[in-house]
């Protein structure tokens, strides 16, 4: 079977699964566990389907992992009408990063913009794997989204990702009109590892004495690469993202002895005063849940405006727009974005 045919078949299976009514899904896959009883039926069904495969894996290879990620993204994605997608670049420090600009058709010549950093454990994922999710985000919010490619580990471990995030931010800040952005209404958003990058970007801008983004939107962020939070164990198997997988990602990304560096683990930053207003959106059954909540609470303790949403889903819901629960999650996300960006 060719790749196109395989993607078509996988997409049909995904849509068939997620088209089943909640009651039937509950009968087929049972009730969610007591550790996360609020999980939506389609989210729990996904966990039951994919976890036997993920839980059995103990080693990965970056190139093969990237191919699998792109394949799965194509299978769970969905066409999004009403959004124009254009290739762009961001440049600085003698380097150039590829990007995609998502513009809702009703947008005027200038307005708010979100700079997006994709998830994938700093090892996999791309602006292509997150194409459907970013288009859905743009359509739901009416806000332009600039999704930026960045260097991946292990070929490029920390601090390459932080450097690329800062490059992208400064390129947009220097010429917002090129991206249809209104000065002062540019925020940052990321999912998983991309959320870690968005959080670190805000810390780096504070350290450099540069203006903060209009907001930081952190979707199931990695904030503690020491792996000390209980949810790493509680949801380490059986819920799609595994502890073993996170351990591998962090071995690829984090230089030896630097796991507690605040630019690796933002939770260990001592001074969070003056950072951008934040949304921290965690999935209730996710190894990263507790560290996301802890970072949101630490921002709030520092006096920063922050909202913490507990979404009744698994890790990666931002990308899984074929499911009802993910689309509902995007509705909540759109409301938060519009509140933060006006």
pLDDT in tens, 43-95: 999 999 888 888 888 789 999 999 989 988 888 777 899 999 999 999 998 99
Q: What percent of the chain has pLDDT above 90? A: 85
Domain presence at residue 125: yes
Strands of 144-148's sheet, edge to edge? 83-92, 95-104, 144-148, 111-117, 181-191, 216-219, 278-285, 306-314
The residue range of the domain holding 169 is 62-341
144-148 and 181-191 strand pairing: unpaired
Catalytic residue list contains 286: yes
Q: Look at residue 255 and tell me if it is in a domain.
A: yes
Q: With cut-offs at 50, 70 and 90, classify the pLDDT of residue 9.
A: low
What's the confidence (pLDDT) of residue 3? 53
Q: Is residue 126 part of a domain?
A: yes
- 17 pLDDT band, cuts 50/70/90, is confident
Residue 203 exposure: Cα atoms within 13 Å on the Cβ side: 23
Count how many domains the chain has.
Answer: 1
Q: What is the predicted pLDDT for the residue at 2?
A: 59
**Other C-beta atoms lying within 10 Å of the C-beta of residue 55:** 16
pLDDT of residue 4: 60
| pLDDT, position 72 | 84
What phi, psi does 282 have (nearest 5°)? -110, 155
Q: Tens digits of per-residue pLDDT, 124-170? A: 999 999 999 999 999 999 999 999 999 999 999 999 999 999 999 99
> For position 240, what pLDDT does the model report?
93
What does each C-alpha distance from 162 to 56, 151, 167, 202 come to in angstroms?
32, 10, 9, 10
CA 328 to chain centre: 16
Within-domain flag for 44:
no
- How sure is the predictor about 313, in pLDDT bands with cuts at 50, 70 and 90? very high
pLDDT tens for residues 264-297?
999 999 999 999 999 999 999 999 999 999 999 9
Report whether 158 contacts 107 (CB < 8 A).
no
- Region 107-136: mean pLDDT is 96
In a domain, 170, yes or no: yes
Q: Could you tell me the sign of the dihedral formed by the alpha carbons of 325, 326, 331, 336, in that order?
A: positive
User: What's the token pair of residue 329?
Assistant: 């999650």
325 annotated active-site: no
pLDDT (0 to 100) of residue 71: 86
Q: What is the 3-state secondary structure (H, E, C) of 116-169?
A: EECCCCCCCCCCCCCHHHHHHHHHHHCCEEEEECCCCCCCCCCCHHHHHHHHHH
Q: Is 322 inside a domain boundary? A: yes
At 103, which helix (H) or strand (E)? strand 95-104
* pLDDT for 79: 81
Omega before 159 within 30 of 0, i.e. cis:
yes
Q: Which pLDDT does position 74 carry in this prediction?
A: 83
Q: What is the pLDDT of residues 216-246, one digit of tens each?
A: 999 999 999 999 999 999 999 999 999 999 9
* Average pLDDT score over residue span 29-51: 93
pLDDT for the residue 312: 98
Q: Region 10-36: what's the mean pLDDT?
A: 88
pLDDT score of 85: 97
Q: What is the mean pLDDT of the chain?
A: 94
Catalytic residue among 130, 315, 323, 325: 315
Give the CATH number for residue 175: 3.40.50.1820
Taking Cα atoms as reference points, which of 80, 76, 72, 125 lies closest to residue 102? 80
In a domain, 35, yes or no: no
Per the annotation, the verdict on 192 as an active-site residue is yes
Q: Output Rg (C-alpha) for the chain, integer angstroms.
A: 19
76 SS3 class: helix
Retrieve residue 268's tokens: 């260990």
Catalytic site residue from 42, 224, 286, 290: 286
Residue 263 included in any domain: yes
Give the active site residue among 147, 192, 325, 326: 192
* pLDDT value at residue 76: 79
């Amino acid at each position: 079977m060719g790749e196109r045919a395989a993607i078509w078949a996988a997409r049909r299976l995904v849509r068939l699964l997620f088209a089943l009514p909640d009651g039937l899904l509950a009968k087929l896959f049972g009730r969610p566990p007591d550790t996360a009883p609020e999980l939506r039926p389609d989210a729990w069904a996904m966990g039951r389907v994919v976890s036997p495969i993920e839980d059995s894996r103990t080693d990965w290879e970056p190139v093969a992992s990237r191919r699998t990620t792109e394949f799965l993204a194509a299978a769970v994605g969905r066409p999004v009408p009403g959004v124009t997608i254009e290739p762009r670049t961001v440049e600085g420090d003698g380097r150039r990063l590829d990007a995609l600009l998502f513009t809702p058709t009703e947008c005027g010549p200038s307005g708010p913009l979100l700079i997006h950093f994709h998830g994938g454990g700093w090892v996999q994922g791309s602006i292509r794997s997150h194409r459907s999710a970013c288009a859905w985000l743009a359509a739901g919010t009416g806000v332009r989204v600039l999704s930026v490619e960045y260097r991946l580990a292990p070929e490029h471990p920390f601090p390459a990702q932080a450097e690329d995030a800062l490059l992208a931010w400064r390129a947009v800040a220097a010429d917002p009109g090129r991206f249809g952005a209104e000065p002062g209404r540019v925020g940052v958003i990321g999912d998983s590892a991309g959320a870690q990058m968005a959080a670190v970007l805000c810390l780096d801008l504070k350290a450099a004495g540069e203006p903060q983004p209009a907001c930081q939107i952190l979707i199931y962020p990695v904030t503690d690469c020491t792996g000390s939070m209980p949810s790493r164990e509680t949801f380490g198997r059986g819920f799609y993202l595994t502890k073993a997988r996170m351990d591998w990602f962090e071995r690829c990304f984090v230089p030896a002895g630097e796991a507690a560096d605040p630019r690796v683990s933002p939770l260990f930053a001592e001074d969070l005063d003056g950072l951008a207003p934040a949304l921290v959106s965690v999935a209730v059954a996710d190894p990263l849940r507790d560290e996301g909540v802890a970072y949101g609470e630490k921002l709030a303790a520092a006096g920063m405006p922050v909202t913490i949403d507990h979404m009744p889903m698994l890790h990666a819901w931002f990308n899984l727009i074929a499911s009802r629960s993910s689309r509902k999650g995007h509705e909540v996300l759109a409301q938060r974005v519009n509140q933060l960006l006006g």
